[in-house]
Chain A
């Protein structure tokens, strides 16, 4: 019986699981094709014109919504563009994008340090002008331009700031 089985199925288990060099070469070439396709896909994605963002004035909060030293999250100009509105001193409002300029982690307001902090890579931004205080972020946070109209706070646009020298 055993002899018969060996004649019918001459390949043993070791050989059955053996990956030849040629198969490995083929696998690497296929992986290379997959990576090339992925890179081309990303290039196409980055080249597609995704349209300009329009900055229409938008009411983002009431004055009473943000206490002194407190913050409020909002989206501007698109729903996926998260921002944070802060009132560091009475009657003084600042707002920044929450997207860290390093790798887009959401920054959080730290009132005790008077800064915006990115927990992903220990980056920090100034509350007064959004400039980088520490960590790997290469650029300041985009600043949301605000206007207080009576009891309402409006966002008017987003300013992409340059790095301050020195």
Chain B
């Protein structure tokens, strides 16, 4: 049987991996948005640039929030 400390460690580890994958997914979305904006700008259609920038900023905000969450998670462990 696992000790409480071991179980907590596994739980933290799983949370960390989940957050990491979510972070990666958001970065991929940002890359997709960035390429979409470049293609549209080259094509002479600037209308997509502002909504894409807002979306990208939201993704960045979520990533920063998750990063500070991870830092807090690691501090709790120590």
Q: Which of A69-97 contact B (CB under 8 A)?
A: none
Pair count A-B, CB < 8 A: 94
Which of B20, B38, B55, B60 lies in contact with A24, CB distance below 8 A? B20
Q: Is the Cβ of B74 less than 8 Å from the Cβ of A39?
A: no
Question: How far, in angstroms, from A5 to B26 measured CA to CA in the complex?
Answer: 44
Which of A22, A35, A42, A43 lies in contact with B27, CB distance below 8 A? A35
Interface status of A68 (Cβ within 8 A of chain B): no
Interface size in chain B (residues, C-beta < 8 A): 36
Q: Is the Cβ of B53 less than 8 Å from the Cβ of A39?
A: yes
Interface status of A62 (Cβ within 8 A of chain B): no
B-side interface residues toward A, CB under 8 Å?
A: 16-17, 19-20, 23-24, 26-27, 30-31, 33-34, 37-39, 41-44, 46, 49-50, 52-53, 55-57, 59-60, 63-64, 66-67, 70-71, 74
Question: How far, in angstroms, from A121 to B5 measured CA to CA in the complex?
Answer: 60
A-side interface residues toward B, CB under 8 Å?
A: 21-22, 24-26, 28-29, 31-33, 35-36, 38-40, 42-43, 45-47, 101-104, 138
**17 A-B pairs in the complex with CB atoms less than 8 angstroms apart:** A21-B17, A25-B23, A28-B63, A29-B63, A32-B26, A32-B30, A32-B59, A33-B64, A35-B27, A35-B34, A35-B56, A36-B30, A39-B33, A39-B53, A39-B57, A42-B41, A104-B42
Which of A25, A36, A47, A103 lies in contact with B19, CB distance below 8 A? A25
Question: How far, in angstroms, from A45 to B37 measured CA to CA in the complex?
Answer: 11
Which of B16, B43, B50 lies in contact with A47, CB distance below 8 A? B50
Question: How far, in angstroms, from A142 to B74 measured CA to CA in the complex?
Answer: 59
Report whether over half of chain A's contact residues are helix, strand or loop; otherwise say mixed.
helix
Pick from B20, B24, B49 the residue with the most CB of A within 10 Å: B49
Q: Is the Cβ of A39 less than 8 Å from the Cβ of B56?
A: yes
Q: Is the Cβ of B23 less than 8 Å from the Cβ of A36?
A: no
Q: State whether A40 and B74 are in contact (beta carbons under 8 Å apart), knowing that A29-B64, A46-B46 are contacts in the complex.
A: no
